[in-house]
Structure 1
Amino acid sequence: MIRTIARGGARVGASRAWRTLVLVLPGLWVGTVVLWEVLHPTGAQLIQLLAAAPAIACAGTGRRSCVLLGGMCAVFALVPIGSAGRDESIGTRFGTFAAILAVVIASYLTAGRRARLQRELESAHAIADAAQAVVLRPLPPRLDGLALAAGQLSASRGAAVGGDLYEVMATTHGVRVVMGDVRGHGLAAVGTVAALLGSFRDAAHDEAKFADVLRRLERALDRHLRERSRHEHPAATDKDPQSPVAEDFVTVLLLEIREDGEVHALNCGHPWPYLLTPGRAKPFAQAEPLPPLGLFPLPTELPAMDCGQLQPGEALFLYTDGAEDARDGTGRFFPLPAALTEAAKADPVSPRDVLRDVFAGLQRHTAGSTSDDIAILVLRNDRSALGAPLGARGTARQATTDPQPTTNL
């Protein structure tokens, strides 16, 4: 599974160029000052500028370089250079020497503090990565006859998890899939993602009726929003229209893929997936979705939609609306259908290649800066054909009854 998406090779090249510059800059600085003193014996004296060299070395190369270069600069300050340097009094040269030593000591202490902060930051990143892997855990490349690839691009700088969620579970009722998009992004959205994924991972196994999985998600969201409201604004009530969570909602798409490839869906305001075949991408279903979770209660009757059969070799492309809404500098939307058609040329369609190509296209289109979280999940049916197609392709229809439990082999 692809957890994070690289922002491009340009930043790597720029980082290497910067490291090279800070390595050679202190030596160039010292050489330039000394050369000036030698070639302009009667001109302005620049020996005091040597005090900047250890500070530059400390900022770019570390504490040891700071001390070595600072000692060398202090010696240059005490030794007369050129005729003008020999005319300087010992007091002036000693003052320059003391100033350079003061800069060396201050830079040394500052570099030590920076090194400690860097270690703490690296430790915090390691802990955050472990926590993020628990919330949005990696998916296996294969699960119950399906090939999988998934990735997440967070709009929050430095985060691997945002307001989007996905999970795939192999259960006795079929392979159950969730793809969702929490309103907004940041830490509050991550908390909602964690609550919903925790509920789905239990409900996918526990609930025989597919519709009951969605009802469990609705109850988990309602409970999470109430708790968050009491924590953030104790004076606000659950039904207070001024409550900070009064308008929070989540779009959710649930899929159940049976052993024979039959797909049932429950959609609450989420984009329908695309069906991918070699060189072609088209909407998998076109039914009107339910409202997003959190805005209105679910209806009493909640029949799943029969979307037909996912044939062996066919793939589904699930995504959040950040992929469609991504814009370039001129305001043009990302051409997702065209990008999918281009990415799905292989036979059979490769989920990892589709994921990689679409993310690469998104980064080129947005110049590496997205305004919304983007999550993508691609799954391909690698099972053997078990029967004729069920239902018309591309037009979802209501199932008359909830699908009965089946056992995956």
Structure 2
Amino acid sequence: MIRFKAGAPRTGRSRTSPWASDHCCPLRRALARGLQPGVLGALGTGLALHVGRSLLREVRQNRTTARTAQRMLRPPPRVDGLAVAAVQLSADRGARLGGDLYEVVATEYGVRAIIGDVRGHGLVAVPAVSAVLDGFREAAHGESDLSGVLRQLERAMGRHLRKRARDERLPAGTDHGLWIAEEFVTVLLLEILPDGEMRALNCGHPWPHLLSGARAEPLARTGPLPPLGPFPLPAKLPVVSCGRLLPGDTLVLHTDGVEDARDADGTFFPLPEVLASAACEAPPAPQSVLRTILTALVRHTGGPPKDDVALLVLRNERPSPRAPAKPRGAACPDPAGPSPTGPLQHPA
């Protein structure tokens, strides 16, 4: 135990310290006598300027984060023979990033794509978007099957929710199950093999539409799995076989902000009819499909969207498979069959 000797100066402020004298400390003297109106006004002005500068720095930082995340969301125009086009619109006025996400990558297992929708919109949803995209970019190259990719996304979403709970310091007695159910993400995972075969896993997300010839129809009609977040995934993940994306076919992936958009009378946006119109173009290039959908969407709603919107268009521009080459020296078969008299003899 530390004891102080009587009469000895204690550590800290001594009588010989300049801070011990009101004569040498204007701030202490002002506090002792009470703040004058002029002093109070000066302190208030300084505090307001400090808060204003802090808010300005925060806004600039948020805009920088949004621009960086938006650049990360832009897919390359071509991925392993697939032409790619994408667009995202935020429901928050002035925001460049919302709660929708998408990505396309070429892996040794084929082209893998993701599109998702986080509950909420604007910058509030950015942390969840980042968690899911980071998990996808790592798992798409590391997992040999699509179910393994989805398991990684489930773990990434779980880590995000636990971090959010720690950051917000939820009080004791909070119903964590109810709170976690308030944040979830719908996800569609798609895998396109070199021969065009498609496989998908759907967690509560709208199915894409396939534009083939002059037709536009849903890629599949099976019931989806639950969204990531509120409920654990089942032990067995049923990967859905979705046929083939043939050369010249186009696939349109979208979030529910597209098909749930309404006009002034409450009528939903007729996405299948708009896609059927886009399929009649020759050829339906990805950028042209995006233009057709967005023009019809803005005309239908009469202005900017009320919810976040994301569209991802993939078109198979790989060369058509060629017939096997014939060996040199082999004669083409006669459709009428072999001649009984042997090969024809031409006169000299």
TM-score range relative to shorter protein: 0.7 to 0.9
Query: What amino acid is aligned across from residue 176 of structure 1 in structure 2?
Result: R
Equivalents in 2 of 1:203, 1:308: separation in Å? Answer: 24
CA apart distance, 1:187: 2.5
Q: TM-score, normalised by structure 1?
A: 0.62
Does 2:81 match 1:145? yes
Q: Residue 164 of structure 1 corresponds to which residue in structure 2?
A: 100
CA apart distance, 1:189: 1.2
Equivalents in 1 of 2:189, 2:113: separation in Å? Answer: 6
Q: Residue 205 of structure 1 corresponds to which residue in structure 2?
A: 141
SS class of match (2:290): helix
CA apart distance, 1:174: 0.5
Does 2:272 match 1:351? no
**CA shift in 2, pair 1:129/1:270, >3 Å:** closer
CA apart distance, 1:241: 3.8
CA apart distance, 1:364: 1.4
CA apart distance, 1:298: 1.0
Query: What amino acid is aligned across from residue 348 of structure 1 in structure 2?
Result: P
Q: Residue 133 of structure 1 corresponds to which residue in structure 2?
A: 70
Equivalents in 1 of 2:289, 2:307: separation in Å? Answer: 20
Gaps of 5+ in 1: 1-115, 389-409
Within 5 A, what are the aligned runs for 1:15-94?
Answer: none
Q: Residue 377 of structure 1 corresponds to which residue in structure 2?
A: 312
Identity %: 55
Equivalents in 2 of 1:321, 1:236: separation in Å? Answer: 36
Residue deviations 1:134-176 (CA, integer Å, cap 9, x gap): 5x43111111000110000110111121111000010001000
SS class of match (1:317): strand
Q: Residue 158 of structure 2 corresponds to which residue in structure 1?
A: 222
Residue deviations 1:333-379 (CA, integer Å, cap 9, x gap): 11111111122222222110011111111111112232211100000
**More deviation in 187-196 or 275-284?**
275-284
Equivalents in 2 of 1:285, 1:241: separation in Å? Answer: 32
Residue deviations 1:167-214 (CA, integer Å, cap 9, x gap): 001000100000101112132311100110011001100111211100
SS class of match (2:98): coil
CA apart distance, 1:128: 4.3
Equivalents in 2 of 1:242, 1:382: separation in Å? Answer: 46
**CA shift in 2, pair 1:320/1:120, >3 Å:** same
Equivalents in 1 of 2:61, 2:153: separation in Å? Answer: 31
CA apart distance, 1:122: 10
Query: What amino acid is aligned across from residue 333 of structure 1 in structure 2?
Result: F
Q: Residue 322 of structure 1 corresponds to which residue in structure 2?
A: 257
State whether residues 67 and 96 of structure 2, in contact with CA within 8 Å, keep that contact through their aligned partners in structure 1: no
**CA shift in 2, pair 1:161/1:345, >3 Å:** same
Q: Residue 185 of structure 1 corresponds to which residue in structure 2?
A: 121
Equivalents in 1 of 2:210, 2:103: separation in Å? Answer: 19
Aligned length: 270
Equivalents in 1 of 2:172, 2:105: separation in Å? Answer: 37
SS class of match (2:176): coil
State whether residues 251 and 314 of structure 2, in contact with CA within 8 Å, keep that contact through their aligned partners in structure 1: yes
**More deviation in 120-129 or 322-331?**
120-129
Query: What amino acid is aligned across from residue 101 of structure 2 in structure 1?
Result: L
State whether residues 260 and 385 of structure 1, in contact with CA within 8 Å, keep that contact through their aligned partners in structure 2: no
Gaps of 5+ in 2: 1-52, 324-348
Q: Residue 266 of structure 1 corresponds to which residue in structure 2?
A: 201
Equivalents in 2 of 1:122, 1:183: separation in Å? Answer: 23
State whether residues 116 and 255 of structure 2, in contact with CA within 8 Å, keep that contact through their aligned partners in structure 1: yes
Within 5 A, what are the aligned runs for 1:223-242?
Answer: 223-235=159-171, 240-242=176-178
Within 5 A, what are the aligned runs for 1:301-312?
Answer: 301-312=236-247
**CA shift in 2, pair 1:295/1:127, >3 Å:** closer
State whether residues 132 and 160 of structure 1, in contact with CA within 8 Å, keep that contact through their aligned partners in structure 2: no
Query: What amino acid is aligned across from residue 262 of structure 2 in structure 1?
Result: R
Q: Residue 226 of structure 2 corresponds to which residue in structure 1?
A: 291
**CA shift in 2, pair 1:386/1:303, >3 Å:** farther
Equivalents in 2 of 1:241, 1:201: separation in Å? Answer: 28
Equivalents in 2 of 1:362, 1:160: separation in Å? Answer: 18
**CA shift in 2, pair 1:253/1:387, >3 Å:** farther
Equivalents in 2 of 1:297, 1:129: separation in Å? Answer: 30
Does 2:298 match 1:363? yes
SS class of match (2:275): helix
Equivalents in 1 of 2:295, 2:197: separation in Å? Answer: 32
Larger fraction in helix: 1
Q: TM-score, normalised by structure 2?
A: 0.72
Equivalents in 2 of 1:137, 1:214: separation in Å? Answer: 19
Does 2:275 match 1:340? yes
SS class of match (1:170): strand
State whether residues 110 and 191 of structure 2, in contact with CA within 8 Å, keep that contact through their aligned partners in structure 1: yes
SS class of match (2:186): strand
Query: What amino acid is aligned across from residue 156 of structure 1 in structure 2?
Result: D
Asked which structure has the greater CA Rg, the reply is 2
Equivalents in 2 of 1:242, 1:321: separation in Å? Answer: 24
